[in-house]
Amino acid sequence: MRTAHPTRRGLRMTRIAFIGLGHMGLPMARNLLKAGFTLTVFDLVPAAMDELAKEGAVRASSALDAVQDADVVVSMLPASRHVEGLYLGDNGLLAALKPGTLVLECSTIAPDVARKVHQAAKARAIELLDAPVSGGTAGAAAGTLTFMIGGAASTLEKARSLFEAMGKNIFHAGPDGAGQVAKVCNNQVLAVQMIATAEAMAMGVANGLEPAVLAEIMRQSSGGNWALEKYNPWPGVMENAPASKGYSGGFMAELMAKDLGLAQEAAQASGSSTPMGALALQLYRLLLKQGKGKQDFSVVQQLFVE
């Protein structure tokens, strides 16, 4: 049963179906609502829809229900298998969308799977972009995400105002799947920097330094990086970082392990040497074995403390 929110009706003619309202999808969908777009939302977890329904979105009873009449579909799901399940096959969304529909697939998935979904979309005259993001939950909430986009440049231009409602930096990475390749390269760097920061924090504190003092010195010095700038892994150094909230919220370690696995697959495909990425993957697998997969990826700090 769908209930339209009258105050949002008619603000913009573009009807968006947003699928996947997790840590990232929910704030991204909220920014589209704020920009005045008409949204129908779906997530397997009903509670995720409740919040947006209060803010003017229409709740759908399934993904197929959500895309009825949609001009645009945005999806933000955990991994490749969820995206394949959503779009492909007889009951998949591509079979239900009208030709000309624009699809922005924002999840981080294998480049090969992205290309497979691109092909299936083309066969039905649906315009699809792989558009993974960077910037974390804070960037999603602030509408300052970076989008790394694979697909036709002309499709990107059609979708630009939607990306601009959710992000600040909109990059055309290249053809189908190129957004995903850029994303796994970026996340490999992020993981390596996070691990390097965590081990240095632990070493400095074990040698008598105050964590906040060490963090600030490194942030302003040649060791400065995104983790030190925005996401310090040591509890209490940054009030709003997941480390200071029991490593809750943020970007789950199991998703980082997934991205590092995708990076290794990409390296394998091209014969690239990525020893740092390989080691990072092993450390994240260890965290998963310790039962920390659902915690924020900065929980890697705990590998280095007593």
* CB 80 to ligand NAD: min, Å: 9
Tokens of 260: 């590092």
Residue 94 binds ligand NAD, judged by CB under 6 A: no
User: Under the criterion CB under 6 A, does residue 105 sit at the interface with ligand NAD?
Assistant: no
Q: Which stretch binds ligand NAD (CB under 6 A): 8-16, 19-27, 214-222, 263-271?
A: 19-27
- 38-45: list long-range contacts, CB under 8 Å, 24+ apart: 38/8, 38/9, 38/11, 38/12, 38/13, 38/14, 39/8, 40/2, 40/15, 40/16, 40/66, 40/67, 40/70, 41/17, 41/66, 42/17, 42/18, 42/66, 43/19, 45/21
Does residue number 255 form part of the binding site for ligand NAD (CB under 6 A)? Answer: yes
Beta bridge partners of 239: none
Given the residues 54, 98, 168, 183, select the one marked as catalytic.
Answer: 183
Dihedral angle over CA of 290, 107, 230, 182, nearest 10: 110
Provide CB contacts within 8 A for 285, sequence distance 6+. Answer: 257
Among 27, 233, 250, 277, binds ligand NAD (CB under 6 A): 250
Pick the piece of the chain touching ligand NAD (CB under 6 A) from 31-39, 50-58, 208-216, 249-257: 249-257
Bridge partners (DSSP) of residue 174 are: 150
Q: Is 183 a catalytic residue?
A: yes
Residue 114 binds to ligand NAD (criterion: CB under 6 A): no
The answer to the question of residue 153 lying near ligand NAD (CB under 6 A) is no
Q: Interface with ligand NAD by CB under 6 A: which range of 71-79, 161-169, 221-229, 234-242? A: 71-79
- Residues taking part in catalysis: 183
By the criterion CB under 6 A, which residues form the site for ligand NAD? 19-25, 42-45, 48, 63, 76-79, 82, 85-86, 107-108, 133-134, 136-137, 250-251, 255, 259
